[in-house]
Amino acid sequence: MIKLKNVWKTYSGNVHALKRVTLHIKPGEFVSLVGQSGTGKTTLAKIIIAEERATQGRVIIGGWDITDIKRGDIPVLRRQIGVIFQDFKLLPRKTVFENVAFALAVAGAEQKKITTIVPQVLRIVGLEKKSARYPDELSGGEQQRVSIARSLVHRPKILIADEPTGNLDAINVQGITELLLKINSFGTTIVLVTHNPDVVNGLKKRVVTLDHGEVVSDQQIGRYMI
């Protein structure tokens, strides 16, 4: 599903954010990408969604070599990969329903499709009864659920979660982790970028550890090591 072959990311001044990263994530896998701050986890996530380009190496997503992806093709890629962030990225003046619908609306979906899909994904994340609320009327965990719902509307094969629990309390961390496992059980490949040892250790899934931009460990049922 995701293949990285000897990927390097070098910034000006010869700063290497990623070095020699080779990784193969199979369809339906749940992979935690761990490491301390500044080790290149987020850079790797950005390369997968083509927000950044690898300086060297090849990046292949679902058989599609996106190393030199054309700007016009990026939207097509983004509709196949759901992304969620620590800061939720919700629009404060839109309701839960509208925030989720926004992802479909800007992709040109018919209104009929929107009214069918949005309630479905809100049900998956457990927010069907709060669809008329605004983001500031929700808890942090609920806001992250809205963000997850939005990332699911295009039925992505891959979900990239970049520190999704970073702003949440323990109970909400648990809830979001369970939600990610639930989505994974539907067959969606999950890449979880985190530095929360409790989350990683509780999952008992594959763990890839990055240190100074290099993969230093790749365990099938791993633990947080650093």
Bridge partners of 33, per DSSP, are: 193, 208
> What 3-state class would DSSP assign to 73?
helix
Dmax over CA atoms of the chain, in Å, equals: 51
Taking the complex as a whole, how short is the minimal distance between the CB of residue 108 and another protein, in angstroms? 4
User: Of these, 13, 68, 106, 221, which contacts another protein (CB under 8 A)?
Assistant: 106
- Contacts (Cβ under 8 Å, ≥6 apart) of 71: none
Q: Are 38 and 16 contacting, i.e. CB atoms less than 8 angstroms apart?
A: no
- Give the range of 74-82, 128-136, 164-172, 218-226 binding another protein by CB under 8 A: 74-82
Closest to another protein by CB, 109 vs 181, is: 109
Closest to another protein by CB, 107 vs 171, is: 107
Indicate the Cα dihedral angle 32, 36, 42, 43, nearest 10°: -120
- Give the range of 39-47, 146-154, 161-169, 187-195 binding another protein by CB under 8 A: 146-154
Alpha-carbon span 216 to 10, nearest angstrom: 18
Q: Is 71 in the site for another protein (CB under 8 A)?
A: yes
Q: Is 155 in the site for another protein (CB under 8 A)?
A: no
User: Of these, 150, 159, 176, 215, which contacts another protein (CB under 8 A)?
Assistant: 150
Give the number of residues in contact with another protein, rule: CB under 8 A.
24
Alpha-carbon span 38 to 40, nearest angstrom: 6
- Give the range of 8-16, 23-31, 77-85, 177-185 binding another protein by CB under 8 A: 77-85
CA 141 to chain centre: 16
User: Of these, 75, 115, 139, 171, which contacts another protein (CB under 8 A)?
Assistant: 75
Buried/exposed 43-79: b ≥16 CB within 10 Å, e otherwise = bbbbbbbbebebeebebebeeeebbebeeeeeeebbe
Taking the complex as a whole, how short is the minimal distance between the CB of residue 81 and another protein, in angstroms? 9
Site string for another protein, 14-53 (x = CB under 8 A): ----------------------------------------
Interacting residues toward another protein by CB under 8 A: 71-72, 74-79, 83, 89, 91, 102-103, 105-111, 150-151, 153-154
